[in-house]
């Protein structure tokens, strides 16, 4: 209620100011040296409870990465090759780039491809859990971040989506609608606590979590 009263007050103040036809020039000539309150928009994000770095809130967690300029990028790695464990990952990256995705050619050979930044675009990664739930219809994407050899730092923001229902009776596995006698389940069912336990026990660079639940 308080915020709607504040919004009404602000609307009334803006209308009152507008009707004076004073404008910015009038303010300056009147000796106003600070920005009047009516020009200060309420913080639209003030009521959103952001999680601390790396801490998961049910179903979602957000992480921001900062990659400083590296003087010897060929001697290290930004993030080692891995697949994301969750369902989907949404990534916003700046123009510096550095993300690479592993592409497997028809002859079986594989190589790394730059995921070049596109202004305003979000990049969506399929995670291990979606591979399991889709019974391999969608494959989780192996990716890595090479060290930054540019002259400016790289910044990215990532939101991981995983199921929020994590009770002892909430089971996950291939979706029943995708299973048939021609397409039997390739994975057993499990709870989120078993899935996350398996993930945290493994090395980030491993894809063992998919193998762990394979039938």
Asked if residue 179 lies in contact with residue 154, where contact means CB atoms within 8 angstroms, the answer is no
3-state DSSP assignment of residue 169: coil
Q: Which stretch binds Fe ion (CB under 5 A): 3-11, 81-89, 178-186, 201-209?
A: 81-89
Closest separation in Å from C-beta 18 to Fe ion: 49
Q: Applying CB under 5 A, what is the total number of residues that bind Fe ion?
A: 1
**Positions in 91-150 near Fe ion (CB under 5 A):** none
Closest separation in Å from C-beta 91 to Fe ion: 8
In angstroms, the CA 110 to CA 102 distance is 7
Long-range contacts, stretch 31-40, CB < 8 angstroms, 24+ apart:
37/13, 38/10, 38/13, 38/14
Minimum CB distance to Fe ion smaller for 13 or for 90 = 90
Minimum CB distance to Fe ion smaller for 84 or for 128 = 84
Q: Which stretch binds Fe ion (CB under 5 A): 80-88, 93-101, 133-141, 165-173?
A: 80-88
Minimum CB distance to Fe ion smaller for 86 or for 174 = 86
Closest separation in Å from C-beta 17 to Fe ion: 49
Minimum CB distance to Fe ion smaller for 157 or for 185 = 157
Told to check if 84 binds Fe ion by CB under 5 A, we report yes
What residues pair up with 63 in beta bridges, in sequence order?
158
Closest separation in Å from C-beta 176 to Fe ion: 29
In angstroms, the CA 134 to CA 174 distance is 6
In angstroms, the CA 33 to CA 13 distance is 18
Closest by CA position to 189, among listed 206, 179, 175, 207: 175
Binding site for Fe ion (CB under 5 A): 84
């Amino acid at each position: 209620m308080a915020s709607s009263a504040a919004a009404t007050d602000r609307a009334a103040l803006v209308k009152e100011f507008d009707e004076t036809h004073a404008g910015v020039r009038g303010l300056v000539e009147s000796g106003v040296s600070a920005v009047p309150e009516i020009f200060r928009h309420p913080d639209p994000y003030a009521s959103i409870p952001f999680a601390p770095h790396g801490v998961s809130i049910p179903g979602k967690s957000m992480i921001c990465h900062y990659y400083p300029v590296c003087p010897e990028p060929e001697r290290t790695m930004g993030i080692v090759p891995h697949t994301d464990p969750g369902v989907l990952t949404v990534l916003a990256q700046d123009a510096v780039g550095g993300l690479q995705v592993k592409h497997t050619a028809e002859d079986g050979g594989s190589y790394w491809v730059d995921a070049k930044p596109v202004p305003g675009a979000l990049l969506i990664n399929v995670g291990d859990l979606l591979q399991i739930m889709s019974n391999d219809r969608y494959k989780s994407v192996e990716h890595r971040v090479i060290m930054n050899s540019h002259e400016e730092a790289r910044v990215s923001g990532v939101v991981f989506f995983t199921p929020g229902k994590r009770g002892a009776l909430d089971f996950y596995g291939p979706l029943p609608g995708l299973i048939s006698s021609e397409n039997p389940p390739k994975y057993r069912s499990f709870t989120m606590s078993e899935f996350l336990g398996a993930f945290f026990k493994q090395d980030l660079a491993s894809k063992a979590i998919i193998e762990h639940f394979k039938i």
